[in-house]
Structure 1
Amino acid sequence: MQETTPRQRLAGVLILLGLMAQIVGFTGWVTTIHAVSYLLWAGAFLLWRDIPRRSRIQAEVLIALGAGMLLVAQFVYGAEVDWPAMLQGNAFVVAMLVGVSFISLIGKQGSKGASGSRVTGAGGVLRTWLGVHFLGTILNLSTVFMVGDKLARRGPLTTPQLLALNRGLTSAALWSPFFASMGVVLSLAPEVEYAQIAMVGFPLAMLSGLLTTLELRRRFDLAEVDGFSLAPRSLLMPVSMAALVMLFHFWVAPSLTIVSIITFLLPSVAVLSNLRDGPRYTLRRVRQHTLIRLPAMRGEISLFLAAGLLTLGLSTLVSAAAGSDWNLFAHFGAPQAMISFVAISLSALAGLHPIIGVSVLASILNLQGSEQTLFAMVALCSWAVGTSVGPLSGINLSLQGRYGMSGYRMMTNNLLYAGVMSLLSLGAIAGISVLVD
């Protein structure tokens, strides 16, 4: 087992307890919302010194701004602030991320997975994109390491390979119900019509794969660039999990949101799949996941929790200072949505994670009915584009730490891609605006 300190192991246990408290809350037997947020924040606090410096500073700024705005709202404008509940923002999204992480327990440790023969060239790049994209819809960031490490066995990863990894994963944010982006969107806009989002987001994601292949073929000599060969049976798990989520959403537990279903369903399936090898084996794998994998999620956990506090602080202050009827836009239509997309995407270039822009936007809008679906498209498009090009996004920091590709180089190599995807995203936003009218 990888070496961790007692402090990190305690943090992993607290994060697991936060997930368990969230699942218990779904039953309705007891209210656990305070417990969930306190446990997750306690785990993040214990891991604070381990967070990369830039990410830590960003989270600290968000926390200071959020808490400061709550103080101003109460003591300057006389707003009623529910201080015990101030840590609840995005706690259920973090619980979903923790639940999704357990999907890595499906399958034997050390299993190499199913893959075909060696492929190179533009076809190899496309297969790498497809593999990361479809496996990443469930496995998220861990897929990049799984595929990247497999490619790295033949030598250091090249720029085309790293770009395929980056774009394959980030484009999944456009439609995957298991991505953190969708979790945030569904929490901020619970009346989103997911079918309409998927109808536009999935084709847009496929265009990302086509664009990646064509652009990299033009810019690089791909003759000796290895690709990831994805066997059809490799897709069985993500397709099965998606079908299970839809089954629960429409028939088994229609009262629960997709975020809630994912939070309890994925870890449950992961545990059940291991019980075939006995309870001791299952307990060992869950323990290893808790003590190693969960503390390793410190960056994303802290960022999402901090952004939740910022959202609460900003929305409370705006409501107190301008009145509850004030909104950034009187009507949230296609022009306003396009402006919002551009603003969030540009902020990602400056180093801000898209969740910050999305959260701020939601806090100063009063979304009604179909506006929520349009907002969702803005959030998902800006997330997909912003995380691909943002030098401080989780995917680019991970690629830098593991494979040595700097965030700045990734940004410059993705500028053309981000520009074209932005134009396509604006078209998708316009399409959604017509669809929901």
Structure 2
Amino acid sequence: MHEYSPRRRIAGGLILLALLLQIAGFSGVVSTAVAVSYALWLAVVLLWRDIPTRSRRQAGALIALGVSMLLGARLGYGAEVDWPAMLTRNAFVVAMLVGVSFIGLVGTQGNRGAPGARVTGTGGVLRSWAGVHFLGTILNLSAVFMVGDRLSRERPLSTPQLLALNRGLSSAALWSPFFASMGVVIALVPGMQYGYVALAGFPLAMCAGLFTVVELRRRFDLDDVDGFSLAPQSLLMPLGMAVLVMLFHFWLTPALSIVSIITFLLPSVALVANLAYGARYTARRIRQHAMTRLPAMRGEISLFLAAGLFTLGLSTLVDAATPDDWTLFARFGMPQAMASLVAIVLSAVIGLHPIIGVSTLASILSLEGSAQTLFAFVALAGWAVGTAVGPLSGINLSLQGRYGVSGFFIMRQNLGYAAMTGALALAAIAALALRLGLG
């Protein structure tokens, strides 16, 4: 397929339109969620034949299962289904990914700058993990792309590099107040005490990083594995973005989520940076980006949208089949918390996003007082371990769509990591439960 074929041009235009509609929706004047999702799904339909076979089969299976479960909930249990809005799940995440892609238009007009001294070996892996982890606490998934794209400039990412990216971001869910997982947890248990959660989560995240370095050094020859250079030239862009995100989050647009800020901020920075070279130059670069880079995101876009539809179908079916007055445990203490963590991680291994397990458990548990804090940590730990190992998690879908690595390959590579971090999380749950008087 020629990159400028009419079908590709239309799809690229629809993806760009979806981004603009999503940004327009931040004004609060009108809801654009449905329009955004329709534009993205139509682009997927146009690009369907060009999606890699593995991703296309996976997306197709998720779509079929999602629709089947929605039909089962409606016909079998009489559940109310908002059919016009059934395609909106994960559209906001896809819009963020599209916005992040525009960072590729910044700093590429001429010399990219020296990348800094080459960093390899154990130190390189550690720096890659730390770079993604600490930048990811603020920039979320976009930190993976910033670091990953830099590492893949010369050659495709190796397995140790991919695992450092995967684990660096997923472990940030343990303590970052700006992570998507924290937003979900706070919505489910608003009475949780963040101080206790961070006190248990941050040390666990550092242990996860240490284990990653030790394990990868044992399993792979890291002598020729490039790491993320921490030279000032390398850090300028991500740190600048992090500062801007914090500025908007705390002062300029505090009502918007981090994901929303990233969605409009990164394209805006790209636009301003290119306008310095003239309006005609800027228009040409944006058109080229829309015609080439955006359609090339078809793997990422299709998998995220399909996973969102699957999640909606499953959650709708579970809600419909579960009696309102039934609770899983009469009391939520240490044993129940441990069992819940294991359930979330195991469900992630078989392909369910941790948000499904977390949301399902929250809906069938009676959580009051300190139990909300304990559940919050269980949910965050389950999210951190589950997204690392789960083949359909956001990070693994992104790695699959952007760098061509199978989510199931990442899952197999992370089974030992999941077992170790899961065991450490169980110990942290025990300590936190005793501290909260829920032993």
Q: Helix, strand or coil for the counterpart of 2:308?
A: helix
Q: Does 1:146 align with 2:137?
A: no
Gaps of 5+ in 2: none
Checking the alignment, whether the CA contact within 8 Å between 2:192 and 2:376 is kept in structure 1 is no
Q: Helix, strand or coil for the counterpart of 2:41?
A: helix
Checking the alignment, whether the CA contact within 8 Å between 1:374 and 1:436 is kept in structure 2 is no
Change (3 A) 1:231 1:308: same
Checking the alignment, whether the CA contact within 8 Å between 2:300 and 2:401 is kept in structure 1 is no
Change (3 A) 1:201 1:111: farther
Checking the alignment, whether the CA contact within 8 Å between 1:314 and 1:360 is kept in structure 2 is no
Q: Distance in 2 between matches of 1:186 and 1:369?
A: 15
Residue equivalent to 2:21: 21
Change (3 A) 1:247 1:159: closer
Q: Helix, strand or coil for the counterpart of 1:76?
A: helix
Higher mean displacement: 252-261 or 109-118: 109-118
Q: Does 1:102 align with 2:105?
A: no
Checking the alignment, whether the CA contact within 8 Å between 2:300 and 2:402 is kept in structure 1 is no
1:134-179 CA-to-partner distances (Å, cap 9, x unmatched) read: 5666434434543433564xxx876545544543454455556787
Q: Distance in 1 between matches of 2:402 and 2:30?
A: 42
Q: Which residue identity lines up with residue 142 of structure 1 in the other structure?
A: F
Q: What are the within-5 Å matches in structure 2 for residues 326-365 of structure 1?
A: 326=326, 328=328, 335-352=335-352, 354=354, 357=357
Q: Distance in 1 between matches of 2:182 and 2:267?
A: 16
Q: Helix, strand or coil for the counterpart of 2:236?
A: helix
Higher mean displacement: 322-331 or 401-410: 401-410
Change (3 A) 1:145 1:254: closer
Q: Distance in 2 between matches of 1:368 and 1:288?
A: 54
Checking the alignment, whether the CA contact within 8 Å between 1:389 and 1:415 is kept in structure 2 is yes
Q: Distance in 2 between matches of 1:192 and 1:303?
A: 34
Q: Distance in 1 between matches of 2:111 and 2:372?
A: 42
Checking the alignment, whether the CA contact within 8 Å between 2:146 and 2:238 is kept in structure 1 is no
Checking the alignment, whether the CA contact within 8 Å between 2:300 and 2:398 is kept in structure 1 is no
Checking the alignment, whether the CA contact within 8 Å between 1:18 and 1:36 is kept in structure 2 is yes
Q: Does 1:316 align with 2:316?
A: yes
1:97 to partner: Cα distance: 2.7
Checking the alignment, whether the CA contact within 8 Å between 1:26 and 1:260 is kept in structure 2 is yes
Change (3 A) 1:85 1:333: farther
1:107 to partner: Cα distance: 1.9
Q: Does 1:265 align with 2:244?
A: no
1:291 to partner: Cα distance: 2.4
1:178-233 CA-to-partner distances (Å, cap 9, x unmatched) read: 87x54984797595989656665555443333222223334455455554432145
Checking the alignment, whether the CA contact within 8 Å between 1:188 and 1:362 is kept in structure 2 is no
Change (3 A) 1:242 1:159: closer
Residue equivalent to 1:213: 213
1:376 to partner: Cα distance: 6.1
Higher mean displacement: 227-236 or 364-373: 364-373
1:420 to partner: Cα distance: 1.8
Q: What are the within-5 Å matches in structure 2 for residues 329-408 of structure 1?
A: 335-352=335-352, 354=354, 357=357, 377-378=377-378, 380-390=380-390
RMSD of aligned alpha carbons:
4.2
Q: Distance in 1 between matches of 2:189 and 2:273?
A: 31
Higher mean displacement: 94-103 or 133-142: 133-142
Q: Distance in 2 between matches of 1:427 and 1:402?
A: 35
Q: Which residue identity lines up with residue 63 of structure 1 in the other structure?
A: I
1:282-307 CA-to-partner distances (Å, cap 9, x unmatched) read: 22332233223322333332333233
Q: Which residue identity lines up with residue 127 of structure 2 in the other structure?
A: R
Residue equivalent to 2:291: 291
Residue equivalent to 1:79: 79
Residue equivalent to 1:255: 255
Checking the alignment, whether the CA contact within 8 Å between 1:166 and 1:388 is kept in structure 2 is yes
Q: Distance in 1 between matches of 2:132 and 2:148?
A: 10
Residue equivalent to 1:70: 70
Q: Which residue identity lines up with residue 254 of structure 1 in the other structure?
A: P
Change (3 A) 1:353 1:29: closer
1:108 to partner: Cα distance: 1.7
Q: Does 1:243 align with 2:233?
A: no
Q: Distance in 1 between matches of 2:340 and 2:111?
A: 44
Higher mean displacement: 370-379 or 243-252: 370-379
Alignment coverage as a number of residue pairs: 432
Q: Which residue identity lines up with residue 167 of structure 1 in the other structure?
A: R
Higher mean displacement: 234-243 or 407-416: 407-416
1:92 to partner: Cα distance: 2.2
TM-score, normalized by length of structure 2? 0.78
Q: Distance in 1 between matches of 2:103 and 2:192?
A: 26
Q: Helix, strand or coil for the counterpart of 1:280?
A: helix
Change (3 A) 1:298 1:335: farther
Higher mean displacement: 418-427 or 366-375: 366-375
1:32 to partner: Cα distance: 1.9
Q: Does 1:423 align with 2:423?
A: yes
Checking the alignment, whether the CA contact within 8 Å between 1:66 and 1:312 is kept in structure 2 is yes
Higher mean displacement: 354-363 or 106-115: 354-363
Q: Distance in 1 between matches of 2:419 and 2:116?
A: 34
1:49-89 CA-to-partner distances (Å, cap 9, x unmatched) read: 33333433333333333323332333333333322222222
1:390 to partner: Cα distance: 4.7
Q: Which residue identity lines up with residue 252 of structure 1 in the other structure?
A: L
Q: Which residue identity lines up with residue 146 of structure 1 in the other structure?
A: D
Q: Distance in 1 between matches of 2:337 and 2:47?
A: 37
Checking the alignment, whether the CA contact within 8 Å between 1:136 and 1:144 is kept in structure 2 is no
1:221-262 CA-to-partner distances (Å, cap 9, x unmatched) read: 545555443214533333333333333333323333333333
